[in-house]
Amino acid sequence: MNTPAKIKIAIIGGGPSALMLAARLDNIKFDVTIYEKNSAPGRKFLVAGDGGLNLTHSEPLEQFIKRYTPSSFFKPILHAFSNKDLQEWFNAIGIPTFTGTSKRIFPQKGIKPIEVLNAILKVLKDKNVNIQTGYNWRGEEMDADITVFALGGASWKITGSDGSWTSYFKNKGIEIIPFQASNCSYKINWPKNLLSLAAGLPLKNISLKSLNTRKEGEVVITEFGMEGSAIYALSPQIRQQLNEHGKAIVYIDLKPSLSSSALIELLKSKPSSTTMTKYLDNVLNLSKSQLALLKNLTTKEDFLTPENLAAKIKELPLEIIGSGPIDEAISTVGGISLSEIDTNFQLHKLPNQYVIGEMLDWDAPTGGYLLQGSFSMGYKLAEYLNKSTVVNP
């Protein structure tokens, strides 16, 4: 008896979403080929590992889901394959993980990003997944029953994810949302004096607020403006204001652990024998960069009036006038509109063609959420294709 021919699946792009999809597809049912433009898959994944490969985050799932925009889109995806599932999966392929002090999850100490990538590629090899490198897709129909696009976003073009695919989808009537930088640096016109004192210095244990969303973390003052986890996490709020008004306001709380009233009491009890600057340094433990920020962005009168100074310490407004270059952003929003796909990532207008990963229009902060989002989409699509029996007519 002849065995039925396998269903051919072409996955275009070889990033985390594609690799997880290929790792989970049923190789009895499918003949899978990844087509990757570069000479090897996973270049952006390796770049992401440069400062420590932050695979995901350990916070409870309900909280985790809220980090995504839109979170309603991600809820079923993350329920299908959660942060805990990802950790277990890595463990099962020989990559144990550990949770850092920030609750972020990394491969265990000593395991290099390339070893993580190789462990994933070993799974693919064992499943006979073909990887065709040096294949630059330019809009042609693939010789396959099912095509999955996993071409990535539009930052860090050097890694291969250059967003040059938009015209091919536009030509088929598919809505493309223009790319914008996310998780990027933001431009602030700092006073020169502040830069000479604080450029390159971190502001630790602060919180930032914009449009009623508050994020704790760390930022760095730079010549350009500001970067770091706390401001990256406010990207949706900042982008909204920049798009609407050309500028955005972010309030920085330099002492989140103290209430305004406690702060006023403390400032009022400053002995007259000491200066306010010394007092802030010794009693409030404000760092050099925090002091520079306060002194350069408040009037002398406010600085010397406890109520006014406390208000500035708790809510110092910073005006953001732009975002950093898209190519330097950690991720992008924009790309294929979510309205163009069904709940299984299939394009309404192109049956048997699916889209996953950062090429879809969604947003999440750094901290492992971007990789988790891409891995989970690959996983969920594989589960769906493994279960669905026929290719659509």
Ligand X SMILES: Cc1cc2nc3c(=O)[nH]c(=O)nc-3n(C[C@H](O)[C@H](O)[C@H](O)COP(=O)(O)OP(=O)(O)OC[C@H]3O[C@@H](n4cnc5c(N)ncnc54)[C@H](O)[C@@H]3O)c2cc1C
Site string for ligand X, 142-181 (x = CB under 6 A): --------xxxx-xx---xx---x----------------
Positive/negative CA dihedral, 236, 237, 240, 246: negative
Q: How far apart are CA 211 and CA 297, in angstroms?
A: 21
120 binds ligand X per the rule CB under 6 A: no
- Cβ-based nearer residue to ligand X, 155 or 222: 155
331 binds ligand X per the rule CB under 6 A: yes
- Exactly one of 64, 73, 89, 137 binds ligand X (CB under 6 A); that residue is 137
Among 348, 328, 332, 330, residue whose Cα is nearest residue 340: 348
Which residues make beta-bridge pairs with 35?
Answer: 12, 132
Residues in the interface with ligand X (CB under 6 A) total 40
Residue with tokens 């030509």: 171
- Cβ-based nearer residue to ligand X, 150 or 248: 150
334 binds ligand X per the rule CB under 6 A: no
- Cβ-based nearer residue to ligand X, 217 or 368: 368
How far apart are CB 354 and ligand X at their closest, in Å? 13
289 binds ligand X per the rule CB under 6 A: no
365 binds ligand X per the rule CB under 6 A: no
- In sequence order, what DSSP letters do the residues of 193-250 get, joined into one string? HHHHHHTT-EEEEEEEEETTEEEEEEEEE-SSEEESHHHHTTHHHHHHHHHHHS-EEE
Strand, coil or helix: what is 28? coil
- Exactly one of 29, 31, 46, 47 binds ligand X (CB under 6 A); that residue is 47
Q: How far apart are CA 91 and CA 242, in angstroms?
A: 42
How far apart are CB 235 and ligand X at their closest, in Å? 13
- Cβ-based nearer residue to ligand X, 47 or 311: 47
Contact between 46 and 114 (Cβ < 8 Å): yes
Q: How far apart are CA 105 and CA 276, in angstroms?
A: 41
- Residue 138 dihedral angles phi and psi, to the nearest 5°: -125, 35
Site for ligand X in 205-234 (CB under 6 A): none
Interface with ligand X by CB under 6 A: which residues? 12-18, 35-38, 41, 43-45, 47-48, 54, 135-137, 150-153, 155-156, 160-161, 165, 330-331, 357-358, 366, 368-371, 374
